[in-house]
Structure 1
Amino acid sequence: MVLKLEGKRFGRLTVIGRAAEKDKTGRCWLWECLCDCGNTCLVPGNWLTHGKKRSCGCLQKENRENDVTGQRFGHLTAVRPTEKTVRKGIVWVWRCDCGNLVEATIDAIKSGGRRSCGCRNLAIKKRQAVEMQAGCGRQDGTALSLLKSNIVYTHNTSGYRGVSWHRTLQKWTARINFRGKTYNLGYYDSAEEASAAYQRAKKEMHEKYIMEQEIKNDDNSN
C-alpha cells in the first residue's frame, strides 16, 4: 500500500511529494520534504508516520546547542525537549518542585514569565488573602496597611512592585489594586518604565486615599 502524504505536516517537515527511489532496504518509498528552516530532505514514509523524523536535522542541532537538561529556573527544572515547536522555539518538559510536569519553551521560562506550574501563584494568593483578612485596617474594601507597604513579594521576578512580564506581548506591564479593583497601567519596553507608571498611580490613588483617611480618623478622634 502506497502512503498518501503530499501536503501533510510532520513536526517541522511538510511533504512535497514522493521521490523516485526507495530507502536502503528497498521496502519503503522516500518522500521529499521541506523543513521550516528552508532545507529539503528525503525521508522514508514510515519515519514520518511513526514520528522518527521531525525536521531536516535542525531540531536536533538546536536541542544540542540549547540543552538545559537539569538546569533550574525558579521552581522548575528542565527534564527533556519535546518534538513540539512554536514561534519562540522548542517546547520543553519541566518538573515543578511540587512534582507536576508542565510544557513551555526556554524563552518563556527565562523571561521570568513562568516560574512554577502554577502552584506558587496559588499559594501566594492564599497567603495574601489570609494577610488581608487578618485585620489590616480594611476600609472601603481597601487595607490601609497594604497600601502603605512597598514590599516586593518573592514571586515577583521584575524586582518592582506592581510590575510583571506579559508573555504574549513580550513587554512589561504595570497594574495597581485599589478598592477591590485592578487597574491596568499599560505595557512598557522596560521594567523601569512600568515601575514609574505604577509609582505615579500609587501617588494619585494610594497616597491620596491614605491622607484622606488619616485626616478623617484624626477628626473622629477629636
Structure 2
Amino acid sequence: MSARIDLTGQKFGRLTVIEPHGHSKNGNQRWLCQCKCGNMKVVDGYRLRHGTTLSCGCLRNEVSRYHLLTNEKTREQIGCIESLKSTWHPKSTDLRSANKSGVTGVNFDTFQNKWIARLYWKGSYRLNRSFRNKGDAIQARLDCEKQYLD
C-alpha cells in the first residue's frame, strides 16, 4: 500500500484542500475542500490531482450562464412563452418501436413466461402486473388507461 499524498493547503482550480475526509469505495483518499465561492465540498483526491474537479459546481454554472447569454438565438427566445410550447409530446399510449406485442404497455417476459401490463403515470406505476393470458394483460392496460388517461 502506498503512502497517502498530503494535499492539505494545496489549491486545485477554485478548491483549497482543508483536511482528509475518509476514503472512497475504490480506496482513494477523499478531501474536504473549500471553494472560492465559500461552499464546502468533499472530493476524491484522484479527481483533484488530475484536474477533473475544479470547483464545487459554481464554475460549471458560470460557464453555462455565459454560453446561454452569449448565444444570440437563445437570447432572442428569452421571455418568449411561445418557444416553450411544443407541437409533439409523447404519450403513455404511443407505441414504441421495440414493442413486440402490438399494444402499448404490454410485453412478454420470457423469464417469468408471462405477459406484463404496465402504466407509468405522473411519476409512479399505476399498473404493473403479470398475466398468463395476453388478452387479460391487454384488458388490464385498457382499463387502467380509462381510469388515468381519459
Task: State the TM-score, normalized to the length of structure 1.
Answer: 0.31
Instruction: Give the number of the structure with larger relative contact order, counting CA–CA contacts within 8 Å between residues 6 or more apart.
Output: 2
- For normalisation by structure 2, the TM-score amounts to 0.45
**Greater fraction of residues in strand:** 1
